[in-house]
Amino acid sequence: MKKYLFLIVLWASCFKLFAQDYNASLFGCKSDGVTNNMGSIQYAIDYIAKKGGGKLHFYVGRYLTGTFSLKSNVSIELHEGAVLVGSSNIFDYSLQDGKRALIVAVGQSNIQIGGKGVIDGQQSLLRSQVAALRQKGNIDLSEKAEDISLIYLKASRNIQINGIMELNLLGAAHFIDQCADVTLSALDINSPGSIGLYVSNSKTVRLSNVFFQAIGKALVESEGSQQVVKENSRLANGKTL
Amino acid sequence: MKIKLILVMIFLYGGILTLQAKEYNASLFGIKSNGTTLNTTSIQRAIDFIHEQGGGTLRFYVGRYLTGTVVLKENVHIQLEEGAILVGSTNIYDYNIDVPNCALIYAKDAKNITIKGKGVIDGQGREVAYNLLAQIQSGVLKDPLDYDRPRNRRPKAIYMRSCENVRIHGVTIKNSADWVQVYDQCVNTVVDSITVDSKAFWNNDGIDIVDCRNFKLLNSFIDASDDAICLKSHDATKSCEDVEIRNCTARSSANGIKFGTVSAGGYKRIRIINNKVYDTFRSALTIATPDGGIVEDILVDSLTAFNTGNPFYLRIGARWNKGRIGSMNNVVIQNVKVEVAKEKPDRGYSYEGPIEDNPRNPSPSSIVGLKNAPIRNVTFRNIEISYPGGSNQHYAYRGTSRTDLDSIPEMEASYPEFSQFKELPAWGFYIRHAENIHFEGVVLKLREQDYRPMLVLDDVNGYSLLRVKQTGAKGKKELVAQGSKKIKP
């Protein structure tokens, strides 16, 4: 009898462990490619975090957005055909902990970004907007637009990014600073002139089955990192990273 | 004597006049052109009245006529003069959502109906779909949500079922929430000189010709986010027969001209003449029969496609076929020029086609039957196709050894799309499970080098290659035939 009770309790707790699923449309996200969804996506993440965690699902479509911040225990699933499209307006990228990036996590843990979807940084549109602003003198010349990363992870742990195609970024695809236990797997990065992965002061960063179709520099390891593991990751010419 | 004759003629002439349909202005029925008055009941009363009087024309002059679903009746003709816009209500409850195919303009079992003029039908589909979604999320309407969007109840702009002698002429149809216009089991239909501009929401097929007999689609321009010109067969006991698609231009974030996907009965005697396809994400022409449908006697002549994702996809599948196996026989594709894009061809359009089936290099044209149901008697004559090439075998690789070819899954139960196999082993044509395939005067151009050969044949029982040339590919074998038999043309 005790044994059964234990099993039932275990079963029930399993349910609690299972993440709650939320569709993006529930928060008013539009897949039309023109509506800027940053407010909705941020609200969704905050809402799911408050409810104790879960997963935000994006299905096929183009979801335009600016910067949003990840929260602990809130994961994002980009299903095949779903594209998170980075805004072509630099002012949609807010400064978070001294850096501009599309997706930011500072001091967070237990987050997965997965699926066969795409994140598109709209490199050329963003670059030309910044150039135009500079020319008109409407932007601080010290503003380094080229530093806009796709995903900026700072002082975070237990982060997995899996399966995503990452296109046309300005800065690094993944800027990882003071993190622990970060896994990047089965990614397809196609971003001429960019940095694939910038790692500093981090512990246990695993890079597996990542393909760099086009990249400026695949991996930059700054000081103070331990255990940067590279498995089966290749450059466009077939060479192992 | 002469006077008598003249009198008879006058009498006859008068008789003809009364036989001719009467004309009614919309204002006669209190229909308002102010864009805010919901005119559903007034327009319906007008249609019913004209129908009861034995028929006639309901005429809309310049203005915005807001309305929900109206049902067309026998012998009623709608004339939308230039500047007149039938505007679909954004309230989902203004539509006939209790029927399986709700629509702004709906007709069933009606004869002799016309929609013509230079006016516009605007479904306001994006707003309707969002409001429908809100009703689903508030729990009032039940819907399973496919891909996080409503599966059911999205209104079409026009739905006609089992109608006879339908004429659609000159109008512009915009912004549907679902397929733009569906003609299902209709007989003797002419759609001529229309414009479709519908990238308002998902599943915006430009025109769906479903199980129709004697159908003509002529001189029309169709720009739609889903398949632009689409033949379907929903009923296993019916089929599309004697359909002509001529002098049309198609643009799509799916396929330009497509047979399927639902192909229960099939397609017979279909002529597709002098059409253009551009900025299209998937294939210029797809003929798919995954649900047991019979495809025979298809002529595609004078097709030009530029900036398209793929030229041709011919496919037999076994998806919802319930034991019946589809067939494809006697297909002639001739006088064709296609330019395949390297970049995404529909970039910048609303509701772009999804980036999917990766990793994959640029896909070839494909003719793929089933082991027990080969695609039969297909001729490609006077064809010129330019492919981008530039494949990277480190990104995606499929060789041409027996083992490599066998590693390509059959995927007979999957949704048929040119990219479904992911990487294929050819840059030009990949042909599997086929019989009597003839190439005459086929020139395939490769713009950047490709690790794959031009042509891969696997299980092709009878093929002939007459005046087949390639330019651009260098230093390797360009034809691989495994388990295939060459015959004389």
Q: What angle is formed at CA B342 by the lines to CA B448 and CA B409, rounded to 5 degrees?
A: 90
**What is the structure's pLDDT at B489?**
79
**What is the structure's pLDDT at B18?**
47
Task: Please choose, from the candidates B293, B281, B303, the residue with its C-alpha nearest in 3D space to the C-alpha of residue B355.
Answer: B281
Q: Cα B294 to the chain's mean position, in Å?
A: 18
Would you call A211 and B395 a contact, using CB atoms and an 8 Å cutoff?
yes
Task: Please choose, from the candidates B86, B156, B169, B95, the residue with its C-alpha nearest in 3D space to the C-alpha of residue B121.
Answer: B86
**What is the structure's pLDDT at A17?**
52
B316: number of CA atoms within 13 Å, CB side? 25
- Work out the average pLDDT over A204-225: 93
- Search chain A and give the residue with CA nearest B349: A33
Task: Please choose, from the candidates B203, B248, B202, the residue with its C-alpha nearest in 3D space to the C-alpha of residue B229.
Answer: B248
Per-residue pLDDT tens over the stretch A206-215? 999 999 999 9
Kindly report which listed range (A96-105, A138-147, B20-29, B359-368) carries the lowest average pLDDT score.
A138-147
Q: How far is B257 from chain A (nearest CA, A)?
A: 22
User: Which residue bears the tokens 């309230």?
Assistant: B91
Facing A33 at nearest CB: one of B350, B358, B359: B350
B133 vs A contacts (CB less than 8 Å): 25
- Work out the average pLDDT over A68-77: 98
Distance between CA atoms of A60 and A78, rounded to whole angstroms? Answer: 8
**What is the structure's pLDDT at A217?**
94
The answer, yes or no, to whether residue A16 has pLDDT greater than 50, is: no
Model pTM score:
0.92
Distance between CA atoms of B217 and B489, rounded to whole angstroms? Answer: 34
Distance between CA atoms of B121 and B411, rounded to whole angstroms? Answer: 40
For chain B, list residues whose CB is within 8 angstroms of any CB belonging to chain A. Answer: 126, 130, 133, 137, 145, 147-149, 202, 350-352, 354-356, 358-359, 392-395
Low-confidence ranges of chain B (pLDDT < 70): 1-21
Q: Per the structure block, which two tokens stand in for A126?
A: 């963003």
**What is the structure's pLDDT at B20?**
56
Distance between CA atoms of B67 and B120, rounded to whole angstroms? Answer: 13
ipTM, 2 dp: 0.89
Facing B148 at nearest CB: one of A23, A34, A236: A23
**What is the structure's pLDDT at A74?**
98
Residues 65 to 124 of A: which have CB under 8 A from any B CB?
Answer: 79-83, 116, 118
Q: Taken in order B141, B144, B147, B152, is the CA torsion positive or negative?
A: negative
A79 vs B contacts (CB less than 8 Å): 147
Whether A138 and chain B come into contact, CB under 8 Å, resolves to no
Distance between CA atoms of A64 and A46, rounded to whole angstroms? Answer: 19
- Work out the average pLDDT over A171-177: 95
**What is the structure's pLDDT at B488?**
87
Would you call B148 and A25 a contact, using CB atoms and an 8 Å cutoff?
yes
Would you call B350 and A238 a contact, using CB atoms and an 8 Å cutoff?
no
Q: Taken in order A31, A37, A43, A49, is the CA torsion positive or negative?
A: positive
For residue A192, say if its preceding peptide bond is cis, omega within 30 degrees of 0.
no
A123 beta partners: none
**A9-14 contacts at long range (C-beta below 8 A, 24 or more positions apart):** none
Whether A236 and chain B come into contact, CB under 8 Å, resolves to yes
B137 vs A contacts (CB less than 8 Å): 25-26
